[in-house]
């Protein structure tokens, strides 16, 4: 079975790190030209009763879009992710537009795509759905971090 | 001593609820025309090693700005918050611009202000600093929720 990007390169980030036992541990996968993620909130991730907290939506979107940018950069360069990130990115700006309340007791589905890609910067758009209903849309500006050699973030 | 807004009206939200034992439990206070919050991350709230996770920054900003909008609406109407929210708000859109990495081992300081206020909508801007250095700037569109009578969110 295909491995999640976050299981190929294990980092310590609260949102996406396989090495962060307290974190959200999202798992992102290529799906054609998109990168997708299904993530199940815990009951305490509520905003209002029964409703997933918007800050947590922003969090999973942030990480998922950053992995989308990095995966895209690797694919564009014809380089496999193989335990290290040759093209790591950080978030310069994140915008989330919240359309509908998201039920807390369901997984949410994220679908992201790079819509603009330059030498230093990538723009990633992401849709967040619950049971097929679009609940939020986001755009993230990802900036590539300079690396002298490929590194696993977790070892930094 | 002045009580935090979140201790006047206790809700269950992951970001700001005094009733959410697993949550971030931010505390916001009026400071002149601004609303301020000092919040100390836990070690597991890291993004990269030593650096506070951007998704968590978005989360505390989200809640702090929503409380700023609600507090402003109460003040504008000459109504005290007194255990119930007469003017609850939800987030319609959140943009965070990340300027500098935020050290994980320091409190962050949020300072928010309502910059536009209408019947249904408020625009809130927020600056995030660490040890006096501006690290992020955010803008939130808050939409007032209709309520037939004042309610404590926690009891909803």
pTM of the predicted model as reported, rounded to 2 decimal places: 0.94
Computed over every residue of chain A, the mean pLDDT equals 94
pLDDT at A107: 98
Q: Do B95 and A92 touch (CB under 8 A)?
A: no
Looking at residue B83, its pLDDT comes to: 87
Tell me what the mean pLDDT of segment B8-33 comes to.
97
What's the pLDDT score for residue A148? 59
From the candidates B14, B39, B42, which should be mutated to test the interface with A, based on the most A CB atoms within 10 A?
B14
Residue B154 has pLDDT above 70, yes or no: no
Please give the pLDDT value at position B156: 34
Question: If you search the block for the tokens 């002298």, which residue do you land on?
Answer: A148
Q: Which residues of A touch B94 (CB under 8 A)?
A: 54, 58, 94-96, 98
Contact A20 B44 (CB under 8 A): yes
Stretch B100-114: mean pLDDT: 98
**Nearest partner of A34 among A65, A8, A59, judged by Cα:** A65
- Taking the CA of residue B67 and the nearest CA in chain A, the distance in Å comes to 13
Distance from CA of B156 to the nearest CA of A (A): 7
pLDDT in tens, A18-43: 999 999 999 999 999 999 999 999 99
Of A46, A47, A91, the CB nearest to B54: A91
Res B77: pLDDT:
96
CA B18, CA A132: separation in Å to the nearest integer? 33
Per-residue confidence (pLDDT) for residue A29, from 0 to 100: 98
Q: How many other C-beta atoms are found inside a 10 Å radius of the C-beta of residue B98?
A: 23
Q: Flag whether pLDDT at A129 surpasses 50.
A: yes
Higher-confidence residue of B74 and B156: namely B74
Tell me the ipTM for this assembly. Answer: 0.94
- Distance from chain centroid for Cα A142: 11
- pLDDT value, residue B147: 80
Confidence of residue B146 (pLDDT cuts 50, 70, 90): confident
Give me the pLDDT at residue A147, please: 80
Indicate yes or no: CB of A96 within 8 angstroms of CB of B93: yes
Indicate the pairing of strand B89-98 with strand B29-31: unpaired
Tell me the nearest-neighbour CA distance from A97 into chain B, angstroms.
4
For chain A, say whether B130 makes contact (Cβ under 8 Å): no
Contact in structure between A59 and B59 (CB atoms under 8 Å): yes
B53-105 residue pLDDT tens? 999 999 999 999 999 999 999 999 999 998 889 999 999 999 999 999 999 99
Output the pLDDT for position B2. 87
Strand ranges of the sheet holding B133-144, from the earlier edge strand across to the other edge: A29-31, A34-39, A108-117, A121-130, A133-144, A89-98, B89-98, B133-144, B121-130, B108-117, B34-39, B29-31
Question: Would you say residue B148 has pLDDT above 80?
Answer: no
Provide, as residue numbers in chain A, all residues whose Cβ is less than 8 Å from the Cβ of B13.
46-48, 53
pLDDT (0 to 100) of residue A155: 38
Across B30-58, average pLDDT: 97
- The predicted pLDDT at position A156 comes to 34
pLDDT in tens, A64-102: 999 999 999 999 999 999 988 999 999 999 999 999 999
């Amino acid at each position: 079975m295909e491995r999640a990007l976050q299981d190929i390169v294990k980092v310590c980030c609260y949102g996406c790190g396989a090495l962060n036992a307290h974190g959200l541990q999202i798992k992102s996968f290529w799906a054609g030209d998109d990168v997708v993620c299904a993530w199940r909130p815990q009951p305490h991730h509520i905003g209002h009763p029964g409703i997933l907290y918007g800050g947590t939506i922003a969090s999973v979107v942030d990480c998922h879009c950053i992995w989308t940018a990095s995966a895209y950069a690797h694919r564009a360069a014809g380089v496999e992710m193989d335990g290290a990130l040759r093209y790591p990115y950080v978030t310069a700006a994140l915008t989330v537009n919240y359309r509908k309340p998201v039920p807390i007791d369901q997984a949410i589905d994220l679908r992201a795509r790079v819509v603009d890609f330059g030498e230093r910067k990538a723009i990633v758009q992401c849709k967040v759905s619950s049971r097929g209903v679009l609940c939020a849309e986001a755009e993230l500006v990802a900036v590539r971090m300079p690396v002298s050699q490929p590194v696993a973030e977790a070892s930094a």
